[in-house]
Amino acid sequence: MIAIESGSVWNSGIVHAIWNVVIIGGGLAIGEKMDKYSIMTYVLNSKDFAITGGEFGIESSVISLFGYIIVAGIAFFMIRSRKN
């Protein structure tokens, strides 16, 4: 959606790179246990796979899924409103 909105794949690549640095690169860890390699860690007090994302992490949780849907919906309506 970022590429469609901006007209360039570079912008979505930049957003994805920042996401990787923050989440995967040790900037922020959100999960079931403390991550000693991250700068900041938020420990979830739940063992439910739908909330924590299990071994993969918070990126595969239902919470993240709702976030992805909301952002995609906003982008969709922004693009649609510009066409009208």
Q: pLDDT per residue over 18-65, tens digit each?
A: 888 877 777 887 777 887 888 888 888 888 888 888 877 778 889 889
Residues in the chain: 84
Confidence check: pLDDT of 84 > 90:
no
Query: What is the tally of structural domains in the chain?
Result: 1
- Tokens at residue 75, please? 């982008």
Q: Which domain holds residue 16?
A: 2-83
The predicted structure's pLDDT at residue 14 = 92
Per-residue b or e along 21-52, where b marks 16 or more CB atoms closer than 10 Å to that residue's CB: eebeeeebbbbbeebeebeeeeebeeeeeeeb
Contact (Cβ atoms closer than 8 angstroms) between residue 53 and residue 61: yes
List, in sequence order, every residue forming a beta bridge with 48; answer none if it has no partner: none
Q: How confident is the model at residue 71 (pLDDT cuts 50, 70, 90)?
A: confident
Contact 5, 79 (CB under 8 A): yes
